[in-house]
Amino acid sequence: MQGDADSRRLARRLYGAGALLLALAIFALDILTPLQGAVAVLYTIIVLLVSRGHDRGLILAAGGASVLLACAGYYISHWGEPLDSAAMRLGVSLTAIGITTWLCVRNQAAAEEHRRSEERYRTIFNAAGLPIWEGDWSEAHTVSLRGGKLDAGAIDRIARSATIRDANDAAARLFGHADRSALVGGTIVAHHTPAAEATLGHIVEALARGDAAIEEETQFLSASGEVIDVVLRVTLPPGADGWKRVLVMALDVTERNRAQARLAQSQTELTHMSRITTLGQLAASIAHEVNQPLSAVVTYAKSGRRWLAREAPEAPEVADCLDQIAANGTRAADVIARIRDMARKADPERSLVALAPLIDETVALLRRDLQTHGVAIRVTVPVDLPAVAGDSVQIQQVLMNLMLNAEQAMADTALERRELSIDAGRDGDGVIVAVRDRGTGIANDPESLFVPFFTTKATGLGMGLSICRSIIEQHGGALSASNNPDHGATFRFRLPVADGGRSLS
């Protein structure tokens, strides 16, 4: 600012010095030459020259001095003569000097007001916390004059030619730059997204229709590559002939949109939770009712086994079938009881659990279903695997869930490649069990699979893996997932070894 003031003072001095020399030259020409023309009219040049210094007082001083010099010249050259053409020429000269001085003063006042207005505009422009930039959209104006629908090529040309004349620091921060100098003189094509390209076309069409202000929501890319949501308001300020000055204001609504998305997701989960709660209440009622017929099934199976042993001991297949009915009935009752305990947040029934026979039992239960779907099973469990402390029913529930998920993940895998692997082994003071498939793998973040209600299945509830993790964590362990290097995914859970770490083989 101080440099600009010094420049203006220097300019006024130069114009003043030049005007003084020229005034002396005109004065000498007026009194020393026998010219009959209105030489004093040339004093208007002095006023015009001084007006270049943009100093109202200097303009008035130049006008007054010119009048005095014109009168002095007439006095020296024509004093005592009768009023004739010389007096007429003096009158014309004084009138011209007066009109020129008045016009220059008025123009100077208008220019001063314009300058103050521009300074106010720039002050507001730069001080506003709202991102603002001013662009030259001359190419867009030219394209709009041709009419017709804007195609992708025309929009691209407009975007690449829309030079930013000025921008404030808030605009620079919006796009991830340190200061406004990174934007001024360039374009924002590097920050465009497909949505921004489409929005630019809509804005140009609206300006061509004569809309005074256009508001559009779109997306840009920041310098770091992050997508930012903004609401744009585009206007044409006065003096923007040919769209040489287009004012763009932006409001960053990224956080607002993210908050709305989170709210919508929370509302969806709340609705889903309400349904699950209702379903849980219904399941508890069903479990209560089912327990009685299950007990009857087990009782009748055991009675039938005793009757068979007495009346027909030579029917081992029937006896084995009755044993299976009783065992599975008992297991079903245990599962229902454990699920009800989990709903009440009851502690698991702790006991020493040998994982090797538990894995074999689970494989035996699911073998028929796995073979029906063409899934080969491979189990690798060391004979000296130590026991863990926990609830065998709940651990088996986790194993079964992981195995069924693995089977479903290989639904689109070629038959010859469908293989389910279960590997167990010692890991320090814990035991790790890995369930590996050769399916499609995990497309999303593996951790998202354990979020309640997140599911990749069309008919899934998104609760299975969440419950599995809850069971394993209640046992002091951890459950994780990862993609395999070749195909498929692996789910691993780790359980601490029971006190003493002895094997139950």
Superfamily per CATH, domain 132-252: PAS domain (3.30.450.20)
% residues pLDDT > 90 (the chain): 11
Contact between 325 and 308 (Cβ < 8 Å): no
Helices 2-32 + 56-78 axis angle, to 10 = 10
pLDDT of residue 1: 45
> Do the first three CATH levels of 259-343 and 351-496 match, i.e. the same topology?
no
Domain boundaries, the chain: 2-127, 132-252, 259-343, 351-496
pLDDT tens digits, one per residue of 468-488: 888 888 888 988 888 888 888
Instruction: Please state whether the predicted TM-score (pTM) of the whole model is above 0.75.
Output: no
Q: Smallest Cα–Cα separation from 370: which of 395, 405, 394, 326? A: 405
Binning pLDDT at 50, 70 and 90, where does residue 458 land? very low
- Nearest-10 Cα torsion for 404, 410, 416, 420: -40
- 351-496, CATH topology level: Heat Shock Protein 90 (3.30.565)
259-343 under CATH 3.30.9.10, yes or no: no
Give the Cα-Cα-Cα angle 451, 455, 456 (nearest 5 degrees): 135
Strand partners, 167: 133
Give the integer Cα–Cα distance in Å for 88 and 85.
5
Q: Is 211 helix (H, G, I), strand (E, B) or coil?
A: coil
* Letter string b/e over residues 71-101, b meaning 16 or more CB atoms within 10 A of that residue's CB: eebbeebbeeeeeeeeeebbeebbebbeebb
DSSP code of residue 348: P
Tokens representing 310?
Answer: 């007495």
Beta bridge partners of 192: 220
10-68 confidence digits (pLDDT tens):
666 666 666 667 777 776 766 666 655 456 677 777 777 777 777 777 778 878 887 88
* pLDDT band at residue 2 using 50, 70 and 90 as cut-offs: very low
Q: Which of 9-18, 73-82, 93-102, 428-437 has the lowest mean pLDDT?
A: 9-18
